[in-house]
Structure 1
Amino acid sequence: MTESLDTTKLEREVKSMYRDVAESSQGEFHFETGRELAERLGYDPDVLDRVPREAIDSFAGVGYYFDLVDLRPGERVLDLGSGAGMDCFVAALSVTETGDVMGVDMTEAQIEKARRLAEEGGFHNVQIRNGHIEDLEFADESFDAVVSNGVINLSPEKQTVFEEAYRVLEPGGRLALADIVSERQLPDGIKSDADLWAACIGGASQVDSYTETIEAAGFDVMELRENTDYEFVSEQAANACEKYGVASVSLLAEK
């Protein structure tokens, strides 16, 4: 953890930013949102047509990983930082009514929106809980797959997040995610900036360190690829990306 980072302020900044995403997806952020982004990253338009539009409008993911995780009917899936629920709904379509999808998020506006959309859309196999991804309130070996999109970089306790993901997965379970990493070590001025953390930049780990942290939790990293179609949109964020090689990757690991 970065010693000079005010983690209380970070949580406040993250909740504020993603409350705005939930309530006004057309707002100005450091990052893109919505369907055009999702399709460019690799989401199937036919699948998106079956997902609640409001969830897609609030989509703020950084990559695509569903081809890596290959969800199957009947599986139990956990989405870390589920936001307005788009990835939960995509996962639910794959696991069908015989499977279950659980989302965890700490931003009340996102939770309320995702729950409403699940009810209105008839996604009876999707549940959303209020919680922190560093402290999952689930029993050991409760899930077949854990997924996450653009969220783990927001946590100052990444090792704990991956240890928790490992704990709740069945033996042979899969961790599939998209996240923001960097080629070079970020300076303390960026790593201690809560606004840049909330924008998915300040918390970016060097990619080698990121995969080592996953492996230290017990996982085997099976595949990692860069998402070249993802880019930040604000000048401040773009400058940091160019200078320190901040980029999006998708990854598959197995327990």
Structure 2
Amino acid sequence: MTQGASGRDGGNSLKARVKTAKSRTLASTLWLQRQLNDPYVARAKREGYRSRAAYKLIEIDERAHLLKPGQKIVDLGAAPGGWSQVAAAKIGADKPKGEAKGKVFAIDLLEMAPMPGVEFRQMDFLDPAAPQLLREWLGGPADVVLSDMAANATGHKKTDQLRIIGLVELAAEFACEILGPGGAFLAKVLQGGTDTALLARLKRDFAQVKHIKPPASRSGSSELYVLATGFRGRREATGEDGAG
């Protein structure tokens, strides 16, 4: 573990405290305090990652061996780009021109600054034309679809669970439109929020479905990731049951 991961960057483990400004809510003050005291945030800045979320994908991949050289990756809700950075390095897409292997296409409603090995499109993945456009840009089906998206939190646990499940269901439907047989889908969910219908759908369309909580996910967070591997193929081409 590096010095940054130990949370002792300044030599002392003194926690930074943030004074509550009149224009700042208590929730935003607490979030800012967590950021200032988060060793992954400091480590990301030092190692050049755009967000602490990069370490979540790194840790998931260390366990699942999801990302491989030469793959075609789609990153949904990619901004600011931490996951795209990791994916590009893992599949070799960030190598110099002429040596590049693999492709990473990042999609977000927000703008994202350019980065080596990543092609970005500012668009809505829910646009009916998006799946076909992605296949054309990739030059064929994707190998992996990543989604670290989260619906805006309301503070009401049940509502937030329903909203993120709805978002994951849409992302899963999109993934099934652009993945090739054997492909994988990784998405953020909430503990206790992965409903039966979503799991049933994923188990129908993929050979294996499991949950992963990487160490970089804050211990007090209900954040969890669902990983579906071994895509069976698009149902319109293989039959209604999804079997190949």
When residues 251 and 29 of structure 1 are mapped into structure 2, their CA distance, relative to the original with a 3 A threshold, is same
Give the alignment partner of residue 84 of structure 2, picking from 82, 88, 94: 88
8 Å contact 1:143–1:170 — kept in the other structure?
yes
SS in 1 for 2:80: coil
Question: What is the RMSD computed on CA atoms of the aligned residues?
Answer: 3.8
Please say which structure displays the higher CA radius of gyration.
Answer: 2
1:103 paired with 2:106, answer yes
Structure 2: tracts of 5 or more residues without a match: 1-27, 93-99, 152-162, 232-244
Give the alignment partner of residue 171 of structure 2, picking from 148, 151, 161: 161
1:127 paired with 2:147, answer no
Shift of the alpha carbon at 1:156? 3.6
8 Å contact 2:164–2:189 — kept in the other structure?
no
Identity fraction in percent: 18
Shift of the alpha carbon at 1:78? 0.7
8 Å contact 1:71–1:94 — kept in the other structure?
yes
What residue in structure 1 maps to residue 194 of structure 2?
Answer: 206
When residues 215 and 151 of structure 1 are mapped into structure 2, their CA distance, relative to the original with a 3 A threshold, is farther
Shift of the alpha carbon at 1:85? 0.8
What residue in structure 2 maps to residue 21 of structure 1?
Answer: none
What is the alpha-carbon distance in structure 1 between the residues aligned to residue 54 and residue 32 of structure 2? 10
SS in 1 for 2:199: helix
Aligned letter for 1:219? F
8 Å contact 2:145–2:184 — kept in the other structure?
yes
When residues 167 and 31 of structure 1 are mapped into structure 2, their CA distance, relative to the original with a 3 A threshold, is farther
What is the alpha-carbon distance in structure 1 between the residues aligned to residue 230 and residue 35 of structure 2? 29
SS in 1 for 2:135: coil
Shift of the alpha carbon at 1:76? 1.0
Give the alignment partner of residue 221 of structure 1, picking from 208, 223, 227: 208
TM (normalized to structure 2)?
0.57
Higher normalized contact order (CA 8 Å, seq sep 6+, divided by chain length): 1
Aligned letter for 2:180? E
Shift of the alpha carbon at 1:50? 9.6
What residue in structure 1 maps to residue 40 of structure 2?
Answer: 37
What residue in structure 2 maps to residue 199 of structure 1?
Answer: none
8 Å contact 1:61–1:149 — kept in the other structure?
no
Shift of the alpha carbon at 1:227? 4.3
What is the alpha-carbon distance in structure 2 between the residues aligned to residue 78 and residue 31 of structure 1? 32
Q: What does residue range 46-195 of structure 1 map to in structure 2 within 5 Å? A: 52-53=48-49, 55-56=50-51, 59=53, 64-67=59-62, 68-96=64-92, 97-108=100-111, 111=112, 114-115=113-114, 118=115, 123=116, 125-135=117-127, 136=130, 137-139=133-135, 141-151=140-150, 154=164, 156-177=166-187, 179-183=188-192
The alignment of Structure 1 onto Structure 2 pairs a total of residues equal to 176
SS in 2 for 1:65: helix
8 Å contact 1:88–1:101 — kept in the other structure?
yes
Shift of the alpha carbon at 1:250? 4.4
1:254 paired with 2:243, answer no
TM (normalized to structure 1)?
0.54
Aligned letter for 1:165? A
What is the alpha-carbon distance in structure 2 between the residues aligned to residue 31 and residue 251 of structure 1? 31
When residues 146 and 29 of structure 1 are mapped into structure 2, their CA distance, relative to the original with a 3 A threshold, is same
Deviations 1:150-175 (A, max 9, x none): 43764745433212101111111111
Aligned letter for 1:149? D
SS in 1 for 2:40: helix
Structure 1: tracts of 5 or more residues without a match: 1-25, 40-44, 184-204, 233-237
When residues 207 and 65 of structure 1 are mapped into structure 2, their CA distance, relative to the original with a 3 A threshold, is farther
Shift of the alpha carbon at 1:126? 0.7
